[in-house]
Amino acid sequence: MFGIHKLFNRKSHPTYISTLTEKVDGHAVNSICRKHVTRWSNLDYKCQLYAKRNDDMTYDVFLAYRHDDMDYGKRMVRCSISLKDTLDILKDRDDTETNRRLSGFVSEDHDAYAKRFIDPDRKSHNIRHVLKRLQENNPPKH
């Protein structure tokens, strides 16, 4: 009616979802965007994949990249995709970054390192927190 249902439906269709911030070179940023977007391909960029919800409940996936104050921007990676596809793309990227951060440690130390150093980097709109909220508020129907 007057958009009232949007006030109560925030947990089933989140407005913003993000991944962990990664540190990759310019070639990797260009390959994610499928277009040459960086000024320098050999420098390290901090980048983050995130999704924003549209009015029709589809999502646009963006990549934000930055190398200090010299080169920065954001590019659309995918446009108007479903929530399931968005969650799959972002979860895959978040898992890749988590595994990269854990790769230098013995497998027995992974849980402690993740709890102490990786989990604080995850904001409330991180893909893992969003998935947890979706499972709690929308349990699968039997």
77-136 per-position pLDDT tens digit: 999 999 999 999 999 999 999 888 888 877 777 888 788 778 778 888 999 999 988 888
Q: Is the pLDDT at 9 greater than 90, yes or no? A: no
Strand (E) positions, the chain?
16-18, 22-25, 44-53, 59-67, 71-81
Give residue 99's identity as a one-letter amino acid code. N
Share of the chain above pLDDT 70, in %: 88
CA dihedral for 4, 7, 11, 17, sign (positive or negative): positive
For residue 11, what pLDDT is reported? 57
Least confident of 53-57, 70-74, 98-102, 118-122: 118-122
Q: With the CA atoms of 96, 30, 121 and 7 taken in that order, what torsion angle do they form, in degrees rounded to the nearest 10?
A: -100
For residue 118, what pLDDT is reported? 83
Taking the domains of the chain in order of start, what are their residue ranges?
4-137
**More reliable by pLDDT, 139 or 38:** 38
Q: Is the pLDDT at 29 greater than 90, yes or no? A: yes
CB distance 120 to 21 below 8 Å:
no
Question: Could you give the angle at which helices 83-102 and 127-137 cross, rounded to 10 degrees?
Answer: 130
Residues 6+ apart with CB under 8 A from 21: 46, 47, 48, 97, 121
For residue 94, what pLDDT is reported? 94
